[in-house]
A and B are shown apart, each in its own frame.
Chain A
């Protein structure tokens, strides 16, 4: 349970960081300072995630798993990937305090290292850490993070006032979310195919049921995003005053759906695929 909860928070925070990387900051923003609390939370959660996974792997309670942490880090594939992720986190922490130019150049690499290591500790580990399956999963995490994270970051920046964002920012969010959505669907279908290919009646097992629930939520997010892009954005761009609050008010339920989606994804990562 601790493992699933920490995975859920980890996925949310990674999405947020991807959103920070992709959404052009508003002129008044100082994003490098705002990254600190999120990176701090990510670091704390990454430690809890480690302890939760060591507990699950060793069959011990959380307290009982503590002595096994060193052994898991030094002797298992999960430990090796966790170490690489920790290095990525440290690099992000260092970059958050560096100049904007260095930050722009190296931040994507540090974030990618973290996402890769996180992706490689899931079910894809069975297929190999450098495999097409791992690439599919990394693509899925990046695209999900881009879609959800851009919505999270936009709301964090503009939730106080619907007048604070420009047409350009709204259009950027919409275009980014649309591209990410296509990639989420493509990589999600490939992921599901890989996990369920050749199994009999996968939908009657917990893994299949969770996957159905996840698909339903994706359709809800897709519908909300489509209404915003095709219905509200054109009104906003043509200068209608009521369109701004409507644009924001549709992003709130979309963000809630993403929070639930990441919860289901965390449960999926802890559930045995049908074999």
Chain B
């Protein structure tokens, strides 16, 4: 059919002006607190990712040294969907493990974990 052929042609003509855009699945770019550091009790865990996140499927969980869940009420920042934060209760001294799951808008899931210590 001719209309579809015209659509293909016009689409590709537009493509000649296309600029490259770097992209990937969501990977952490900035951790707060950082991995493997010893810090005063933080008020929140904040992770900035390389891509925008799906709030319904992305999460941060915090576990203590006994592997007990401390909190998991994380949320993606509405103003900057590349950032996810987990507000924290007052943390006692000791080692903690952060587990994160990031589902990017392309639907791909990445996950990871790291530790930090509260002085």
Pair A57/B1 contact, Cβ less than 8 Å: no
Chain B nearest Cβ from A118, distance in angstroms? 12
Pair A136/B105 contact, Cβ less than 8 Å: no
Interface string of B13-40 (1 = CB under 8 A from A): 0111111111111010000000000000
Q: What is the bound-complex CA distance between A136 and B19, given in angstroms?
A: 10
Asked if A108 meets B107 with Cβ closer than 8 Å, knowing A57-B57, A58-B57, A143-B8, the reply is no
**B95 CB within 8 Å of chain A:** no
Pair B19/A125 contact, Cβ less than 8 Å: no
Pair B4/A186 contact, Cβ less than 8 Å: no
**A85 CB within 8 Å of chain B:** no
Pair B20/A194 contact, Cβ less than 8 Å: yes
Pair B22/A187 contact, Cβ less than 8 Å: no
Q: What is the bound-complex CA distance between A270 and B107, given in angstroms?
A: 10
Q: What is the bound-complex CA distance between A121 and B101, given in angstroms?
A: 19
Q: Which single residue of chain A is at the shortest CB-CB distance from B54?
A: A76
Q: Which single residue of chain B is at the shortest CB-CB distance from A107?
A: B1
Q: Which single residue of chain B is at the shortest CB-CB distance from A77?
A: B105
Pair B108/A272 contact, Cβ less than 8 Å: yes
Q: Which single residue of chain B is at the shortest CB-CB distance from A81?
A: B107
**B56 CB within 8 Å of chain A:** yes
Pair B56/A71 contact, Cβ less than 8 Å: yes
Pair A190/B56 contact, Cβ less than 8 Å: no
Residues of A contacting B: mostly: helix
**A195 CB within 8 Å of chain B:** yes
| Tally of chain B residues near chain A (CB < 8 A) | 39
Q: What is the bound-complex CA distance between A78 and B105, given in angstroms?
A: 7
Residue of A78, A143, A275 near B107 (CB, 8 A) is A78
Residues of B contacting A: mostly: loop
Instruction: Give the residues in chain A near B11, CB-CB below 8 Å.
Output: 135, 138-139, 142
Residue of B14, B23, B24, B101 near A135 (CB, 8 A) is B14
Pair A275/B24 contact, Cβ less than 8 Å: yes
Pair A143/B54 contact, Cβ less than 8 Å: no
Pair A22/B50 contact, Cβ less than 8 Å: no
Instruction: Give the residues in chain A near B104, CB-CB below 8 Å.
Output: 125-126
Chain B nearest Cβ from A23, distance in angstroms? 9
Instruction: Give the residues in chain A near B108, CB-CB below 8 Å.
Output: 56-57, 123, 270, 272
Interface string of B55-74 (1 = CB under 8 A from A): 11100000000000000000
Residue of B9, B17, B52 near A126 (CB, 8 A) is B52
Q: What is the bound-complex CA distance between A138 and B101, given in angstroms?
A: 29
Interface positions, chain B 81-115, Cβ under 8 Å from A, are 101, 103-111
Q: What is the bound-complex CA distance between A112 and B4, given in angstroms?
A: 8
Instruction: Give the residues in chain A near B57, CB-CB below 8 Å.
Output: 57-58, 72, 76
Residue of A127, A139, A194, A195 near B12 (CB, 8 A) is A139
Pair B56/A194 contact, Cβ less than 8 Å: no
Residue of A59, A75, A122 near B106 (CB, 8 A) is A122
Q: What is the bound-complex CA distance between A112 and B65, given in angstroms?
A: 54
B: which residues have CB within 8 A of A?
1, 3-5, 7-9, 11-12, 14-25, 27, 50-52, 54-57, 101, 103-111
New contact pairs (15) apart from A57-B54, A132-B14, A273-B23, CB-CB < 8 Å: A72-B56, A124-B23, A126-B105, A131-B21, A132-B15, A135-B11, A139-B8, A183-B8, A183-B12, A190-B18, A193-B20, A194-B18, A194-B21, A198-B22, A275-B25
The 3 closest A-B pairs by CB, nearest first: A275-B24, A125-B106, A108-B4
